[in-house]
Amino acid sequence: QVQLVESGGGLVQPGGSLRLSCAASGNRFGLTIMGWYRQAPGKQRERVAFITSDGRTNYADSVKGRFTISRENAKNTVYLQMNSLKPEDTAVYYCNAVPVPYPYWGQGTQVTVSL
């Protein structure tokens, strides 16, 4: 089974930046559309961005222009650069496949945007 390990979260002030990383196991990473998802307390998990195997990207309206997703297939890693962070970006962030996520999610990485 594919294992996903997210990292890079933390506490940041509004307007700040963070870069998340997700390392995936397996030998099909380069062929897989990968996405970043987030889940805020009391809310459903939502997808915020995805990137195709050849680098095309798509973003949720709420993060468009502020977040950038990228990938390094040689390292089985996908990144999420988050700029101009807002309190409403506070959530646990996960990576997973798109459109059908792998059945086992990683532990996620907590992002908290607060003064």
Q: What is the model's pLDDT at position 1?
A: 87
Neighbour-count burial for 61-90, b at 16+ CB within 10 Å, e otherwise: eebeeebbbebeeeebbbbbebeebeeebb
Contact between residue 109 and residue 6 where contact means Cβ atoms under 8 Å apart = yes
Looking up tokens 């998340």, which residue turns up? 20
CB 40 within 8 A of CB 114: no
Query: Which pLDDT score, from 0 to 100, does residue 62 have?
Result: 97
Query: What is the predicted pLDDT for the residue at 78?
Result: 98
pLDDT in tens, 68-106: 999 999 999 999 999 999 999 999 999 999 999 999 999
**Averaged over 35-40, what is the pLDDT?**
98
- DSSP label at residue 43: S
Residue count of the chain, please give it: 115
Q: Please state the rounded mean pLDDT for residues 13-40.
A: 96
Burial 44-53 (b: 16+ CB within 10 A, else e): eeebbbbbee
Mean pLDDT, the chain, integer: 96
* CA dist., res. 59 & res. 62, Å (int): 8
